A and B are shown apart, each in its own frame.
Chain A
Amino acid sequence: MGPVRRHVLAVFLVAAVAAPSALCALDGQVIYTEGTVSVASGGSQQDAAPGTRLSEGDVVTTGADGFAVIDLSNATQVKLREDTRLVIEAIGDSTQVSLTAGSAFTRILKKLSGTFSVRADTVVAGARGTEFFVAYGKTTDSRRDIWLCVNSGAVDVSVPSTNQHTVVPAGKGINIVAGSTLTPARSYKWTRGLNWNMDPSNGKVEDHTSLQQAYSDLLNHDYQ
Chain B
Amino acid sequence: MKGRFLKGRLFFLLLCAASARGFADSPPVAPNGILEYEGRTALIIQSGGFDFLADLTGRLEDADTSFQYRAFTLGAYYRPLKNLKVGGFYRLQAGVRHDDDWVSNPNPSGPWLWQDTRGRMENELMLDVSPRFLLDFLPGRSWVLMVKGRYIYNTFENQQSIMVRPELTFFWLVNEEPFLDFLAAYEAYFPLNFGSTLIYESYPWIGIHYHVTPDLMLELGASYKSTVWSSSQEWLATPPNPPYQVTYSRWVASFGVIYTLSP
- Bound Cα distance from A184 to B213, whole angstroms: 13
Q: Is A224 at the interface (CB under 8 A from chain B)?
A: yes
Q: Is B2 at the interface (CB under 8 A from chain A)?
A: no
Contact flags B58-102 to A (C-beta < 8 A → 1, else 0): 000000000000000000010100110101000000000000000
Chain B interface bracket (under 10, 10 to 19, 20 to 34, 35 or more):
20 to 34
- Option from A216, A221, A223 in Cβ contact (under 8 Å) with B176: A216
- Bound Cα distance from A149 to B92, whole angstroms: 45
List residues 181-236 of chain B with CB under 8 A from any CB of chain A.
Answer: 181, 209, 214, 217, 219
Is the pair B176, A218 in contact by a Cβ cutoff of 8 Å?
Answer: no
Chain A neighbourhood of B40, CB < 8 A:
224
List residues 172-207 of chain A with CB under 8 A from any CB of chain B.
Answer: 175, 177, 181, 183-184, 189
**Could you tell me the distance in whole angstroms from the C-beta of A134 to the nearest C-beta in chain B?**
17
The count of A-to-B residue pairs whose CB atoms sit within 8 angstroms is 54
Is the pair A177, B169 in contact by a Cβ cutoff of 8 Å?
Answer: no
- Bound Cα distance from A177 to B177, whole angstroms: 11
Is the pair A177, B176 in contact by a Cβ cutoff of 8 Å?
Answer: yes
- Bound Cα distance from A198 to B219, whole angstroms: 45
Q: Is B262 at the interface (CB under 8 A from chain A)?
A: yes
- Option from B53, B77, B134 in Cβ contact (under 8 Å) with A218: B134
- Beyond A222-B77, A222-B85, A224-B55, is A175–B175 a contact (Cβ under 8 Å)? yes
Is the pair A218, B178 in contact by a Cβ cutoff of 8 Å?
Answer: yes
Chain B neighbourhood of A184, CB < 8 A:
175
Chain A neighbourhood of B173, CB < 8 A:
216
Contact flags A154-181 to B (C-beta < 8 A → 1, else 0): 0000000000000000000001010001
Is the pair B142, A218 in contact by a Cβ cutoff of 8 Å?
Answer: yes
Chain A neighbourhood of B42, CB < 8 A:
223-224
- Bound Cα distance from A222 to B148, whole angstroms: 10
Is the pair B83, A219 in contact by a Cβ cutoff of 8 Å?
Answer: yes
Q: Is B130 at the interface (CB under 8 A from chain A)?
A: yes
- Bound Cα distance from A145 to B173, whole angstroms: 15
- Provide the main secondary structure of the chain B interface: strand
Chain B neighbourhood of A218, CB < 8 A:
134, 142, 144, 169, 171, 178
Which B residue's beta carbon lies closest to that of A188?
B214
Chain A neighbourhood of B146, CB < 8 A:
222
**Could you tell me the distance in whole angstroms from the C-beta of A157 to the nearest C-beta in chain B?**
15
Is the pair B209, A145 in contact by a Cβ cutoff of 8 Å?
Answer: no
- Beyond A177-B176, A215-B176, is A221–B262 a contact (Cβ under 8 Å)? no
Is the pair B175, A223 in contact by a Cβ cutoff of 8 Å?
Answer: no
- Option from A183, A216, A223 in Cβ contact (under 8 Å) with B178: A216
Chain A interface bracket (under 10, 10 to 19, 20 to 34, 35 or more):
10 to 19
- Option from B53, B87, B133, B144 in Cβ contact (under 8 Å) with A221: B144
Q: Is B132 at the interface (CB under 8 A from chain A)?
A: yes
Q: Is B44 at the interface (CB under 8 A from chain A)?
A: yes
Chain B neighbourhood of A183, CB < 8 A:
175-176
Is the pair B134, A223 in contact by a Cβ cutoff of 8 Å?
Answer: no
Q: Is A44 at the interface (CB under 8 A from chain B)?
A: no
Contact flags B30-56 to A (C-beta < 8 A → 1, else 0): 000000000010101000000101010
**Could you tell me the distance in whole angstroms from the C-beta of A187 to the nearest C-beta in chain B?**
10
Is the pair B171, A219 in contact by a Cβ cutoff of 8 Å?
Answer: no
Is the pair A221, B177 in contact by a Cβ cutoff of 8 Å?
Answer: no
**Could you tell me the distance in whole angstroms from the C-beta of A41 to the nearest C-beta in chain B?**
37
List residues 224-254 of chain B with CB under 8 A from any CB of chain A.
Answer: none
**Could you tell me the distance in whole angstroms from the C-beta of B134 to the nearest C-beta in chain A?**
6
**Could you tell me the distance in whole angstroms from the C-beta of B42 to the nearest C-beta in chain A?**
7
Chain A neighbourhood of B209, CB < 8 A:
223
**Could you tell me the distance in whole angstroms from the C-beta of A168 to the nearest C-beta in chain B?**
14
- Beyond A222-B85, A223-B219, A224-B55, is A216–B130 a contact (Cβ under 8 Å)? no
With A181-B175, A219-B83 already in contact, 17 other A-B pairs whose C-beta atoms are closer than 8 Å: A145-B176, A177-B176, A216-B171, A216-B176, A216-B214, A218-B144, A218-B171, A220-B85, A221-B169, A222-B77, A222-B85, A222-B87, A222-B130, A223-B44, A223-B217, A223-B256, A224-B53
A-B contact pairs, 9 of them (CB 8 A): A189-B262, A219-B82, A219-B133, A221-B171, A221-B181, A222-B51, A224-B40, A224-B42, A224-B55
A residues apposed to B, CB below 8 Å: 145, 175, 177, 181, 183-184, 189, 215-216, 218-224
